[in-house]
Amino acid sequence: MDRLLVLVRHGQSEWNLKNLFTGWHDVALTEQGVAEAHKAGKALKGLGYSFDIAYTSDLKRAQDTLSIILDELGQADLSVVKDQKLNERDYGDLTGLNKDDARARFGEEQVHVWRRSFDVPPPGGESLKDTAARVLPYYEDTIKPKVLGGERVLVAAHGNSLRALIMDLEGLSGEEIVQRELATGVPIIYRLNEDGSVAEKKDLAA
């Protein structure tokens, strides 16, 4: 039994390129982001992977990344579940601000706390802890049972929604996971044990 779970952060988006806080704002992929998604699909195909079901967020940058990957795999008709619970962290009042402008307005230290603490949300937004509080129950109830049942599952989502998942899978603390950088458009491949713990991990960025 495979018990295969592959996580992919969406390819570079227009607001990644402009260094803006994106959150739940629905932006498109850049040309580089599209190329990253094609590269991810080719890499997974080259390793011989195929999937039984895929999950993504309610945001088009993740959906488009997934669609490109599935095209590369020859699985454009795969069953795809879209859910807001896999959305990026909501940056609240920071959404749309350039990160340098935010530092000028609120101070370097305050912006660093909002970006890199586990449980301090920006005004009107979510902390990573808040993001995990919606992502992890969805994973436990919906995605994990599919993986443990032997289905090969692909998840295309966002830096922080995937950080929440990785924290749970790898048993990391909040302090550890906020330091983890996830490259855009790069698959992270897990094989799980019967109890849901990680048997094997392969990060294609490494």
197 in any annotated domain: yes
Domain for residue 172, yes or no?
no
CATH code where residue 19 lies = 3.40.50.1240
Task: Say if 9 falls within a structural domain.
Answer: yes
pLDDT, tens only, 108-148 = 999 999 999 999 999 999 999 999 999 999 999 999 999 99
In a domain, 203, yes or no: yes
26 in a structural domain: yes
Tell me whether residue 38 is one of the annotated catalytic residues. Answer: no
Q: What average pLDDT is seen over the chain?
A: 96
With respect to residue 36, please indicate whether it lies within any of the assigned structural domains.
Answer: no
Within a domain: 163: no
Catalytic residue among 72, 88, 126, 158: 88
- What pTM, to 2 d.p., does this model score? 0.96
Range of the domain at 18: 1-31+71-90+129-157+184-206
Total number of domains in the chain: 1
* pLDDT single digits (tens) 17-73: 999 999 999 999 999 999 999 999 999 999 999 999 999 999 999 999 999 999 999
Please confirm, yes or no, whether 158 is among the known catalytic residues.
no
Which tokens go with 74?
């020859």
Residue 62: name the closest of 159, 177, 139, 203 by CA.
Answer: 159
Q: What is the residue-wise DSSP string for 39-51?
A: HHHHHHHHTT---
- Considering the candidates 10, 36, 72, 126, report the single residue annotated as catalytic: 10
